């Protein structure tokens, strides 16, 4: 889907199930969104991304990420061209709206909609 259309913005959940083989069990991965970011980077897809997560703590044996702040720091370091930031999904609606407005301030197409 990311290759087939020019999206204005991707709102990416950081934690979700990955299943490469439909006959296998889909295992939950706490930082599966990093794989999507890597795919976008390798494919030279420049669509802007906001990470949206319900988690504040992360565990991964390969990445030194513990908190949401650690995750945001790491993602912005490696994917600064496409990632606008990370948002905690359990913020009050009024705060969510303000955070999204701040993160998308430079994207004209989104703010016109």
Q: How many Cβ atoms are within 10 Å of 45's Cβ, its own excluded?
A: 15
CA distance 65 to 78: 13
Total length of the chain: 113
Cα–Cα nearest to 36, from 64, 7, 56: 7
Tokens of 65: 């990420």
pTM of the predicted model over 0.85: no
Indicate the helix (H) or strand (E) that contains 88.
strand 83-88
pLDDT at 24: 54
- Spell out the per-residue pLDDT of the chain, length 113, in tens: 777 788 889 999 887 665 555 555 444 455 778 888 988 999 898 899 998 888 777 666 566 667 778 888 888 898 999 999 888 888 888 898 899 899 888 776 654 54
């Amino acid at each position: 889907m990311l290759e087939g259309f020019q999206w204005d913005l991707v709102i990416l959940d950081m934690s979700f199930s990955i299943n490469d083989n439909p006959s296998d069990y889909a295992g939950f991965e706490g930082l599966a969104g990093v794989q999507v970011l890597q795919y976008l980077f390798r494919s030279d897809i420049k669509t802007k991304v906001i990470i949206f997560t319900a988690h504040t703590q992360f565990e991964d044996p390969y990445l030194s990420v513990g908190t949401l702040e650690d995750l945001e720091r790491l993602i912005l370091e490696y994917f600064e061209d496409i990632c606008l930031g990370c948002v905690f999904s359990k913020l009050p609606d009024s705060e969510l709206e303000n955070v999204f407005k701040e993160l998308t301030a430079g994207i004209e197409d989104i703010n016109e909609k």
